[in-house]
Structure 1
Amino acid sequence: MESYESLVNAIIIQAVKDYRKAIRFLKHHPHTPELDNDPQQNTLRDKVIKNENERDAAERFFRSGWFEMLSSLDGEVLLKKVCEMEEG
């Protein structure tokens, strides 16, 4: 059982790290219409889209039934706490 708990904790910790990294990047590089319309910004636009996808995937995970099966934590509360940490 201890190995299972370690694996679950590692999955959740990695998801939090990925989420924090994505929202931190997007805070400094928001997706704007100008970014979509400027061909010189393609590399940055691609990074923004990648981070939006990472953020969205993490949010889906924390709101999923799988997360509820893995943990007794409230995924919505966890998301809110991570966002508060990044704002502060």
Structure 2
Amino acid sequence: MGGETLNPYENLANAIVLQAVKDYRLTDDEAELAEIERFFRSDWFGVLTDVDPEYLIRRLRKEKDK
């Protein structure tokens, strides 16, 4: 087949993180943005991914400023 396939748990973890990113991009509600940022900084986020939450938040805020 070529390449390594992700297991179902990795797929689910990736989907959760990607949905949070999509939600962040689609909202302008400050309370919702703060809630999503809390998720990015949570221990649970750290279980789901190795992405640096502060880096992700900076990038998403930069997108919002455009």
Class of the TM-score when normalised by the shorter of the 2 chains: 0.7 to 0.9
Listed as ranges, the gaps of 5+ residues in structure 2 are 1-5
Listed as ranges, the gaps of 5+ residues in structure 1 are 26-50
- Among 17, 22, 42, the alignment partner of 1:64 is 42
Match of 1:19 in 2: 24
Q: Distance between the aligned counterparts of 1:2 and 1:82, measured in 2?
A: 28
Q: Report percent identity of matched pairs.
A: 44
Q: Which has the larger radius of gyration?
A: 1
- Among 3, 9, 27, the alignment partner of 2:8 is 3
List per-residue Cα deviations over 1:19-77 (Å, max 9, x = no partner).
1122xx3xxxxxxxxxxxxxxxxxxxxxxxxx222111101000111111111111110
Count of paired positions: 61
SS at match of 1:7: helix
One-letter amino acid of the counterpart of residue 83, structure 1: R
Task: Give TM-score, length-normalised by structure 2.
Answer: 0.80
Residues 8-87 of structure 1 correspond to what in structure 2 (within 5 A)?
Answer: 8-22=13-27, 25=28, 51-87=29-65
Task: Pick the structure with more helix per residue.
Answer: 1
